[in-house]
Amino acid sequence: MKITCQSPVNIAVIKYWGKENVELNLPTNGSISVTLSMEHIKTITCVESNEQIKQDSLVLNGELVEIPGRMKLVIDKMRNIAIRCGNRQIKYKSESPLESPADPRHFITIKSRNTFPTAAGLASSASGYSCLVYCLSLLYHLDAYLTRTELSEFARLGSGSSCRSLFPGLVEWHLGDSSSTSVADSICDSWEDLDILVCIVKSEKKKVGSTVGMQQTVKSSALFKHRVEGMPAKLETMKRAIIAKDFETFANLTMADSNQFHAVCLDTFPPIIYLNEDSRWFIEFVHEYNRMAGETAVAYTFDAGPNPVLYMRSKYTGDVVRLLKQLVDVTKFKSIRDFNECVTIVN
Ligand code: 2P0
């Protein structure tokens, strides 16, 4: 029995940084992201289960690797739920292409690959864990018992930001106050004249992993406390801007949050520096472009790496791409027009 799914990455506009509970990946603040389309950047995962398989295994980008502890935890939790589901009431129709669920007592083989550089600050763990959780939910027909939001808890246990890739469009990961309430759901599933441009300036492995970085920040940054205090109001303003399709507020808050996140990284001791000279060039370019346009036309955001992701009003996209191609030596531009996709079945 075999299921293949694909999952996109998501890029936060109000960022997750800091864990209240490291083991459960409970965040110190809620976050909001945009799920990208899968045209260029995605994870494809195939999970196979049958009684001939002698042990669980993971092949990542063609290489047999040890299954990380967190992944084991996610797989075990989902298997346990699958074993108990026999006594539960079926709420929904399973989307699974498998007629009957796989036996959760059998071992599984996971084969997963990314169509973009792993650990380059482009949230590969987000597409990876959301894809795995969706594959397992279909393999065991868990989607017949649990909502997408309930399933997002398992993705979060694997990697915080991955709970957001289970939904299309603009998505909120709620802070919550327990494992079952710190979950994701959709704010709105499309924004027609919003375009996204992912610019890949460097595809080296990032220096400080997010999990380690977040713990250093929580321990050492005074600015971080200020950031957390301001979060509930910021999230509310952002949600209202998204629902009203108010690009100006959306764009300005996105840039301000990215800047504050990187300021907090710099305020961490020892400091975490994700931005580089190219990143700073993009920041100045965007502010100058907006000044010339006479309105907020473009916004930037940077995750745990130097690659800018630009959000723009679609009427400016052609001009921005043309100018960037003239001005900068960027490895790749990925123009993402349709981001109204989320994790889905391949076969
Ligand atoms: C985000 N990042 O909201 C923020 C912005 C990076 C900067 O979520 O430890 O890989 O697996 O829960 O989800 C990256 O953190 O961390 C991240 P874990 P994750 O997208």
Question: What residue segments make up the domains of the chain, in order of their start?
Answer: 2-190, 194-336
Residues 302-309 have a mean pLDDT of 91
Quote the CA–CA distance of 141 and 146 in Å, as a whole number: 9
Instruction: Answer whether 311's CB lies under 8 Å from 289's CB.
Output: no
Q: What percent of the chain has pLDDT over 90?
A: 77
CB of 15 within 6 A of ligand 1: the answer is yes
Q: Does 160 have pLDDT greater than 60?
A: yes
Quote the CA–CA distance of 5 and 342 in Å, as a whole number: 11
Q: Which residue minimizes the CA distance to atom 12 of ligand 1?
A: 160
CB of 311 within 6 A of ligand 1: the answer is no
CB of 35 within 6 A of ligand 1: the answer is no
Instruction: Answer whether 260's CB lies under 8 Å from 227's CB.
Output: yes
Report pLDDT for 180: 97
Q: Which residue minimizes the CA distance to atom 15 of ligand 1?
A: 210
Q: Does 140 have pLDDT greater than 70?
A: yes
128 closest CA partner among 55, 56, 198, 67? 67
Phi, psi of 146 (to 5 degrees): -120, 145
CB of 12 within 6 A of ligand 1: the answer is yes
Quote the CA–CA distance of 48 and 45 in Å, as a whole number: 10
- Closest approach atom of ligand 1 to CA 125: 10
Please classify residue 210 by burial: count the beta carbons closer than 10 Å to its beta carbon, then call 0-12 exposed, 13-18 middle and 19+ buried.
buried
Q: What does the mean pLDDT of the chain come to?
A: 92
Quote the CA–CA distance of 70 and 129 in Å, as a whole number: 10
| ipTM (interface predicted TM) | 0.98
- Closest approach atom of ligand 1 to CA 27: 12
Cα 206 to averaged position of ligand 1 atoms, centre (Å):
13
Give 17-52 pLDDT, tens digit per residue: 999 999 999 999 999 999 998 888 899 999 999 999
CB of 125 within 6 A of ligand 1: the answer is yes
Report how far apart, in Å, the C-alpha atoms of 285 and of each of 121, 158, 261, 292, 310 are: 21, 36, 20, 11, 11
For the domain made up of 2-190, give the CATH fold: Ribosomal Protein S5; domain 2 (3.30.230)
For the domain made up of 194-336, give the CATH fold: Alpha-Beta Plaits (3.30.70)
- Closest approach atom of ligand 1 to CA 214: 9
On the question of a common fold for 2-190 and 194-336, the answer reads no
Cα 210 to averaged position of ligand 1 atoms, centre (Å):
6
Quote the strand ranges of the chain, DSSP E.
2-8, 10-14, 19-21, 26-27, 31-35, 42-49, 57-60, 63-65, 108-114, 170-173, 184-188, 194-200, 298-302, 308-313, 332-336, 344-345
CB of 237 within 6 A of ligand 1: the answer is no
CB of 19 within 6 A of ligand 1: the answer is no
**Is the bond preceding 270 in cis, omega lying within 30 degrees of 0?**
yes
With bands split at pLDDT 50, 70 and 90, how would you rate the model's confidence at 337? low
